[in-house]
Structure 1
């Protein structure tokens, strides 16, 4: 059966309705990507199996978060909620993998106030990110220390439970800083369980033959905007190969976990890529 032709007036009316609908959809999408998803925290629970994990550290719970990018686009209420959410998870230790500030060191007081709310029995540890290294290094270093975080600058700490040892190592930003992985791992026994904090995830390829079991990274933001069937529209240098989630490095004992981060940079938007708090439980393989 043939369809009935529509008049010019009907055509114009339907076209106008479609145009209004598309504009409305675009507006709603803009509101969602700017004001909803960037503030919609995903608490992501991950189990990581490690062959070298000592028995007394089995079921260790770590909260890993990254890329706060504190600056002009920050939402104070969101940040307060973020800190409360992290503390309520009651982790054994807390790890922050860089980019505390976006560009300006003028926000360091707010960062200190926020991070001072966090505490874990085995400590709070952090490394520098590329945005921190660009003119903010001194402020970030002092700020993290004031907030009770130990900055691991090409060094490591030893966690002790009975006769068992677990090592947390950290390096200066691998991309724009002065990283020294050999110094960071110095005197750690090769058979020990070692976790590395390094801002950019893709450097895991360079560390794959070293005695490291797990690398925690951020930097990529998971792409920040991910289009279905296409993926991330953009990932930064050294954040493209391992942009989001858990990966096993080929021919290596090293695994790398990349978090999507909790803040935004460049544009204050997220789509299909919610901000993430990672709750990592270590288990004996």
Structure 2
């Protein structure tokens, strides 16, 4: 895993201070409406609470740098709490920042319009004053205030209610991601049509899983359940597209044991992800070999299916190193169907120029957190990747395809509003 640098710490402290101050101001609006009498004391307590919360995500990262504390329960507990808090805070900012910017623009617009009306108001006020002198000197009776009028209630609705509504949104979404979707697998079955597919390969069934992330939030038993699900579809070939572990070498053994009972006609093939590189690809490769799981490292295997060649190609983690693919494709059957396993989806930009027919990838997790309600889609991950999630078809008649798996596990924050995914595709 990448080491923590001084620059990382400086950036974290700067961002945390800025966001913490912004959050403190928002919380103060709510607190001010409920406890006006004890406000000075409450302000101090609120400030301490915000400082503690903003420090929470950093504590487990520091503990992970201390070997005796790296794999302890307290570290994982703090990591979990820090992740939940981080996601909640991100969603809260997603609500408040656009709302505040909109309100700022609105106030500025009102000031501009008010200035334009000033000249005409001065003229009309003079006329109204003259008319008023001719009226009866007796002042009009003022209407009685309604019995339910309450200045304090109006002030509460003006100051606190918008903030409370804003805080409710991230709370609901975060709770939903914790309770409902982290292990609620979706099996996505699909049929992919290729105009150049040999008749012998029609009906070939490929089971695809990615981003397992064995570790604190993906147990061996959970991986065995994924294996059982994959086996239930009786695939001809199983493809695993990287990130088998989270952050530590100790997570490799549970992974290989969790998937050792995978069954398919032609075997299990895999490529490495960035997390696998962090813990050591050689160690991962050696462990997988013991259970007949083939990790393809810039290489290929040719599978003969009723006389038709299938080139199964796998490369190490990369976004743009075409040399990996060049090395992997040396010796492939030129008449074969080319199936590429590559962890990073944006490598498809280069793969499609190398006559790859189908590329399977992962890496993005679909962002893990997204909004997809009543036809409204908001996937922040779409901004970061050219090919962020799902199926992409390019070339004449869509003959070259990429599928980006949403992943089975989690990374960073152990939260998902996007359901984990297992894909079963049939080639026709």
Does residue 303 of structure 2 align to residue 153 of structure 1?
Answer: no
Change (3 A) 1:25 1:210: closer
Does residue 378 of structure 2 align to residue 231 of structure 1?
Answer: yes
2:361 to 200, 205, 217: 217
Deviation, 1:38, is 1.2
- The residue number in structure 2 matching 1:274 is 419
Change (3 A) 1:189 1:148: closer
Change (3 A) 1:76 1:162: closer
Larger Rg: 2
Deviation, 1:136, is 2.5
Does residue 385 of structure 2 align to residue 244 of structure 1?
Answer: no
TM-score under structure 2 length normalisation: 0.58
Consecutive unaligned residues of structure 1, counting only runs of 5 or more, are none
Worse overlay, 143-152 or 9-18: 9-18
- The residue number in structure 2 matching 1:263 is 409
Cα root mean square deviation, aligned: 2.8
Equivalent pairs counted in the alignment come to 277
- The separation in 2 between residues aligned to 1:176 and 1:182, in whole angstroms, is 12
Structure number with higher helix proportion: 2
**Mapped contact 1:247–1:257 kept (Cα < 8 A):** yes
Worse overlay, 261-270 or 225-234: 225-234
Change (3 A) 1:151 1:122: same
| Structure 2 counterparts to residues 172-183 of structure 1, below 5 A | 172-175=316-319, 180-183=324-327
Deviation, 1:224, is 1.1
Q: Tell me which of the two structures has the higher relative contact order, counting C-alpha pairs closer than 8 angstroms and 6 or more residues apart.
A: 1
Deviation, 1:28, is 4.8
TM-score under structure 1 length normalisation: 0.85
- The separation in 2 between residues aligned to 1:236 and 1:41, in whole angstroms, is 25
- The residue number in structure 1 matching 2:72 is none
Deviation, 1:20, is 8.5
- The separation in 2 between residues aligned to 1:209 and 1:253, in whole angstroms, is 12
Deviation, 1:282, is 0.4
Structure number with higher strand proportion: 1
Instruction: Give CA deviations for 1:194-226 in whole Å, capped at 9, x if unaligned.
Output: 100011011111122212100000011111111
- The separation in 2 between residues aligned to 1:236 and 1:78, in whole angstroms, is 31
**Mapped contact 2:190–2:426 kept (Cα < 8 A):** yes
- The separation in 1 between residues aligned to 2:349 and 2:152, in whole angstroms, is 63
- The separation in 1 between residues aligned to 2:150 and 2:169, in whole angstroms, is 27
- The residue number in structure 2 matching 1:201 is 345
Instruction: Give CA deviations for 1:128-180 in whole Å, capped at 9, x if unaligned.
Output: 10110113312211122123211111111111123221111111112498962
- The residue number in structure 2 matching 1:100 is 244
Deviation, 1:25, is 6.9
| Structure 2 counterparts to residues 116-195 of structure 1, below 5 A | 116-175=260-319, 180-195=324-339
